[in-house]
Amino acid sequence: MHGVSFFYKKQPTFVVVYLLPTPLYSTINKIIFSAFCLSLIIHFQNITNATVNVTKDFFLSFFIKKTLKTVLLIAIPWLSYAQFQPFPEALSARNSSYEMQIKLDTKKHQVKATQTVTFINPSDDTIWTMPFHLYYNAFKNNKSTFNTSASRIPISKPQSDIDNGVWGWIKVTNIQDKNGNDLTQNSKYVQYDDGNKNDHTVLEVQLKTPILPRATYQLEMQWQSQIPKLFIRTGYNKDFYFMAQWYPKLGVYEPAGSRFAIEGAWNCHQYHPSTEYFGEFGVYKIALDVPSNYTVGASGFLLKKEEKDNRTVHTYLAEDVIDFTWSANPDFVEVIKKWKGVTIRLLIRPEHEHYQNRFLDAAGHALEFFESYIEKYPYPTLTIVSPPFYGLAAGAMEYPTLITAPTMSGFPMGIRTTETLTIHELTHQYFMQMLATNEQEEPWMDEGFTAFFEAKIMDKYYPDGVVSLDYWNIHILSSALRRGRFLAGNNIKSNAVSDLGWMINPENFSQIVYGKTAIWLQTLEGLVGEKVMQEIIQAYFSRWKFKHPGRQDFIDIVNEVIPKHFNKSFANYIQYFLKEAIFGTAVCDYAVHSIENKRVEASLGFFKNTENALTPTEDLGEINYESQFTLYRLGEFIIPQEVAVTFDNGDVELTSWDGKSRTYNAKYEGSRQIVSVEIDPNFKIPLDKNLINNSYTVTQQSTGITSTFTSMVSWLQHTMVSLSVLL
């Protein structure tokens, strides 16, 4: 970097100019450097601060004015892009990288593209095929696996499109290897999951020369697509484009020993409606050619912009990511906020701009939380796209360094859907992007962990509740709402969270994948404590960031950490807990069945002999009681319980129960009577499905009514939040 201080007409101007590194700017570099050297030669007495009084020399004044005017017009816009630099060192293995030239036709709603795919074989295997996801072909016909699994054509597809034969699709028109071999005819659609020949969402390319162990291999591809009408994460509506799962994307090659791989193989599933994605880490350099009146947001950061003939090419670079997504709309307003070196870029509609702080503050809270809890967000940018009303189908989605979160004009400040979605999707940068689990096979490992942290962050920064309506004195925490959504499922035992994503009952997918996982993670934290839980998460993230962990990898981490802090018996129990939580369908439900206080009667009759009988006396002395309570285990999931016993003199005793037996009794003798018993008084076990039966009081109070009313209100607010997103 070179700095030159100029005084022109006694007005100091400090210009900081980077010597531009690309050949395109070599001439500009020479001009900048020549001007700088000339100023030093003429005014050598001021070399230390490179100060030039240009009024002393008309020629120099003219030269500098004209030169700087030209240089700054060109350099300053470039500098705004060049504030972001490539990582000095790779964060990941970068096994699958892409370079693309994309042209968007907004009249036909089509894309034409060329792309170079660079693959590094991560194994000792010799590979003869390369499978590619062609997600847009899910919308190619009504017989695709996506549409048949959903049991209907997308509701956003107008009947006129069906009548006129307008469908979304993607077609690869040319494939060549680095030796110039044409592989186009060597490709075919495959259906690894269900054998549905009408499904064209995976294209397998047969190679003419194999990919040798640890070798690098390149393919050149040409393709075009008909963008589908916006539905479930991707497409267009009117002038809004959200381009996700939009290009031929190489599957992930898993060497033997990776996750479930017994031997090395490609992992490239068909597109199922209930599951998301799995991608390999790489570098994306993408040139997006769009009409100049469109504002573009994308993964990564902008390298440069070039305008020509009312079109603009936006070139983006995204490093160490598993995917690339972009969006475009002519009416986006750009709002920029800096957070500790991270540039947060919000693209929002003008009618929603007054809500900008709801997004930006929430994003800042999440970044702050994760920097403290796990580690700092490593990317230089985060783009938040808030779609227009007619683009809500693209709302609430996560992609590398780019997320979407919707809002609406007049949205109540006390219903924090915008904040919740921003925090949820940003959390996916850690659990999906950096910890790149397989979202199709194990969706709980990204959605469940994300739901767990969403609740923690929301409860920390919005302690008055995700639903906070002061007028009615209604305040519902995010963790409570998440628990309510889980228990609201019509059959929360329908599947284990370990089931393959597309095999989980769609009616209970959210409750099991998001809800159950979040709740059992919260329960695990209750059992081991917050500090140990944080140690588990930190160890898991540190070992597996920028890799592809599976469920056993997380289990192994837990089993390593727990014995450091607890005895062998508890460590063995945690192994049972994880097995039941992940692979089982048992429900947890404990109840206080009864309390009994029986007066201990005075002894009457013969005891020591038959001569002196004990008879009633008016001086009874201290009255004693035999008190006992009975607990039931109604569910199959065994969890140790703390039990708080309150006596009539105000004493509270905390006891414990291993939770194993179906019935548990405890007795007390003395002058005190039990007035109430409560299981899990500190609410460490949110996995318990029925909290109302967790307590019992011998004196009738309003607790049960209050609990019932709270449950009803929680359900009502859940309904309100759900409907508000759909409006």
Q: Which of 721, 5, 81, 676 is nearest to 411 (CA)?
A: 721
Q: For residue 383, what are the CA distances in angstroms to 108, 263, 366, 407, 426? A: 27, 39, 14, 16, 10
549 lies in a domain? yes
Q: What are phi and psi of 110, to 5 degrees?
A: -130, 160
Q: Can you point out the beta strands (E) in 146-294? A: 169-177, 187-189, 202-211, 216-226, 235-237, 240-243, 249-250, 252-254, 265-267, 282-291
d(CA 346, CA 340): 16
Whether 116 is in a domain gets the answer: yes
Residue type, 155: I
pLDDT in tens, 25-74: 333 344 433 443 434 333 333 333 333 333 334 333 433 344 443 343 33
Shared-domain flag, residues 113 and 256: yes
Q: Please give the Cα distance from 134 to 203 (Å, whole number).
A: 7
Q: Which is nearest to 192 in space by CA: 243, 255, 268, 88?
A: 268
Residues 510 and 470 in one domain: yes
- For residues 555 and 503, what is the distance between their CA atoms, to the nearest angstrom? 22
The CA distance from 302 to 215, in Å, is 30
pLDDT at 602: 74
CA–CA dist 428, 688 (Å, integer): 27
Q: Per the structure block, which two tokens stand in for 207? A: 């190679």
Do 507 and 555 belong to one domain? yes
Q: Is residue 438 part of a domain?
A: no
Q: Give yes or no: residues 608 and 551 share one domain.
A: no
Residue with tokens 């995010």: 478
Q: Residues 475, 614: one domain?
A: no
- Residue 42's domain spans which residues? 2-82
| Other residues' Cβ atoms within 10 Å of the Cβ of residue 370 | 19
Pair 37, 28: CB distance under 8 Å: no
Q: Got the DSSP string for 440-474? A: TT-TIIIIIHHHHHHHHHHHHH-TT-SEEEGGGTE
Residue finishing a domain among 327, 355, 388: 327
Q: Are residues 101 and 181 in the same domain?
A: yes
pLDDT score, position 83: 73
| CATH number for the domain harbouring residue 640 | 2.60.40
Query: Inter-axis angle of helices 26-42 and 58-82, to 10 degrees?
Result: 140
Asked whether 602 and 613 are in contact (CB, 8 A), the reply is: no
Whole-Å CA distances, 630 to 589, 595, 659, 666, 677: 15, 7, 12, 7, 9
484 within 8 A of 707, measured Cβ to Cβ:
no
Assess contact for 189 and 143: CB atoms under 8 A: no
Judgement on whether residues 140 and 287 belong to the same structural domain of the protein: yes
Q: Give burial (CB, 10 Å; 0-12/13-18/19+) of 654.
A: exposed
Residues 41 and 141 occupy one common structural domain:
no
Number of structural domains found in the chain? 4
Q: Does 264 reside within a domain?
A: yes
Residues 674 and 576 in one domain: no
Task: Give the β-pairing of 467-469 and 402-404.
Answer: unpaired
Of 242, 234, 212, 237, the residue nearest 133 (C-alpha):
234
Report the CATH number that the domain containing residue 231 is assigned in CATH: 2.60.40.1730
Q: Is 394 inside a domain boundary?
A: no
Tokens 């007035």 sit on residue: 675
From 30, 61, 82, the end of a domain falls on: 82
Tell me if residue 419 falls in helix, strand or coil.
helix
Q: Give this prediction's pTM.
A: 0.84
In a domain, 203, yes or no: yes
Euclidean distance between CA atoms 171 and 247, whole angstroms: 10
Pick from 73, 165, 175: nearest CA to 130: 175
Q: Answer whether 451's CB lies under 8 Å from 510's CB.
A: no
| CA dist., res. 415 & res. 722, Å (int) | 11
Taking only the tens place, the pLDDT of each residue in 647-672 is: 999 999 999 999 999 999 999 999 99
Q: Is 151 helix (H, G, I), strand (E, B) or coil?
A: coil
* Domain shared by 595 and 576, yes or no: no
- Cα angle for residues 87, 89, 91 (degrees, 5° grid): 85
Cα angle 710, 685, 563; round to 5: 160
Distance CA 307, CA 294 (A): 12
**Which of 19, 53, 82 is at the close of a domain?**
82
On whether both 101 and 77 belong to a single domain, the answer is no
Positions in the chain whose pLDDT score sits under 70: 1-82, 150-156, 618-621, 700-727
Domain-located, residue 99? yes
Structural domain includes residue 442: no
- Cα distance between residue 35 and residue 317, in whole Å: 32
**For residues 149 and 155, what is the distance between their CA atoms, to the nearest angstrom?**
14
495 with 640, same domain: the answer is no
